[in-house]
């Protein structure tokens, strides 16, 4: 399938049995309740979310709803992105809340305010969402951002990037952990040409790819995001049907076999480890 902005090459999904042995234990390993092993099978293991702290060179993520709600834990910080349709009591201690735009499935002002008050955490938000929150969140805790802005939460770096979505001032976020694990939360953006350069520059480990619900999005547009950015792991989200995720998986399996496709389950934790062999 030809793409609009990049030359034709690639594939996606866990590396096949034909993958050269020299490639199999490189780069980013996966656990989730999943732990990648070198024959590309996965072992189930239970993870207590509130107690689980990622080890060095690792991050943990949980998909929280049918949209772009993500809980992301690094070794020292816990970030909550676009929290809607979540129960506050189910959340661990939060260090920062990130908001990509003002739509109902990404911003619940009163839920966010309650979570912020409980945790006394920072809030990083696109300008429109920040304007909606300014009467609910202490000024010292609220940081409006536009594409290109960088913010630090301890040793974790958060960079706002462009978002191609019909909202007032939407952004996406590239999150770099203390150990350099890079995650791109792409909100519900459509693909855009600059993603190719961003992927090349950032050398992304995990990219979340919208495959439904949002205007114009589909498994095909989600796979194009993965194609452009070429992450180690691609995660199809922002959908209420497993069919969209499976179609994304099928498309990418043909196009980018060096990338692992992880179909997440809601409220299930996944651990990603960078630069270590999985045994």
CA atoms of 43 and 131, how far apart (whole Å): 45
CA atoms of 109 and 35, how far apart (whole Å): 36
CATH superfamily placement of domain 21-274: Ribonuclease Z/Hydroxyacylglutathione hydrolase-like (3.60.15.10)
Please tell me what DSSP assigns to residue 89: G
Residue 274 confidence (pLDDT): 85
What ranges make up the beta strands (E) of 112-244?
A: 122-126, 142-145, 150-153, 156-162, 171-176, 182-185, 206-210, 233-237
Please tell me what DSSP assigns to residue 62: E
Considering the chain, what is the average pLDDT of its residues? 84
Question: What angle (nearest 5°) sits at the alpha carbon of residue 74, between those of residues 116 and 263?
Answer: 95
- Whether the pTM exceeds 0.75: the reply is yes
Of 93, 95, 151, 156, residue with least CA distance to 126: 151
**pLDDT above 70 (res 136):** yes
pLDDT single digits (tens) 152-206: 999 999 999 999 999 999 999 999 999 999 999 999 999 999 999 999 999 999 9
What percent of the chain has a predicted confidence (pLDDT) above 70? 80
Question: What angle (nearest 5°) sits at the alpha carbon of residue 140, between those of residues 136 and 142?
Answer: 55
Q: Which two tokens stand for residue 11?
A: 């594939």
Across residues 45-53, what is the average pLDDT?
54
Question: What angle (nearest 5°) sits at the alpha carbon of residue 169, between those of residues 168 and 174?
Answer: 145
Question: What angle (nearest 5°) sits at the alpha carbon of residue 149, between those of residues 200 and 192?
Answer: 45
Q: In what order do the strands lie in the sheet with 150-153?
A: 150-153, 156-162, 171-176, 182-185, 206-210, 233-237, 260-261
**CB-CB contact of 9 with 196 (8 Å):** no
CA atoms of 223 and 209, how far apart (whole Å): 7
How many Å from the N-terminal Cα to the C-terminal Cα in the chain? Answer: 35
Residue 102 confidence (pLDDT): 98
Across residues 118-130, what is the average pLDDT?
98
């Amino acid at each position: 399938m030809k793409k609009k902005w990049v030359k034709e090459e690639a594939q996606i999904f866990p590396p096949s049995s034909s993958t050269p042995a020299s490639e199999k234990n490189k780069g980013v390993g996966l656990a989730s309740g999943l732990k990648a092993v070198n024959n590309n099978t996965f072992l189930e293991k239970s993870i207590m979310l509130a107690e689980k702290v990622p080890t060095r060179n690792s991050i943990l993520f949980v998909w929280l709803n049918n949209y772009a709600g993500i809980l992301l834990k690094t070794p020292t910080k816990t970030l909550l992105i676009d929290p809607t349709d979540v129960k506050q009591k189910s959340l661990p201690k939060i260090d920062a809340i990130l908001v990509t735009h003002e739509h109902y499935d990404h911003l619940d002002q009163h839920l966010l305010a309650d979570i912020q008050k409980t945790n006394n955490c920072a809030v990083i938000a696109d300008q429109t969402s920040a304007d909606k929150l300014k009467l609910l969140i202490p000024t010292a805790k609220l940081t409006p951002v536009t594409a290109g802005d960088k913010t630090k939460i301890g040793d974790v770096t958060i960079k706002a990037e462009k978002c191609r979505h019909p909202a007032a001032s939407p952004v996406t976020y590239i999150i770099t952990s203390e150990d350099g694990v890079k995650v791109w939360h792409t909100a519900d953006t459509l693909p855009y040409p600059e993603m190719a350069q961003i992927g090349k520059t950032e050398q992304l480990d995990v990219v979340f790819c919208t495959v439904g619900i949002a205007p114009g999005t589909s498994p095909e547009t989600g796979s194009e995001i993965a194609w452009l950015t070429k992450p180690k792991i691609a995660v199809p989200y922002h959908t209420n049907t497993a069919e969209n995720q499976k179609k994304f998986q099928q498309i990418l399996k043909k196009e980018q076999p060096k990338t692992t496709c992880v179909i997440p389950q809601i409220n299930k934790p996944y651990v990603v480890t960078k630069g270590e062999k999985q045994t």
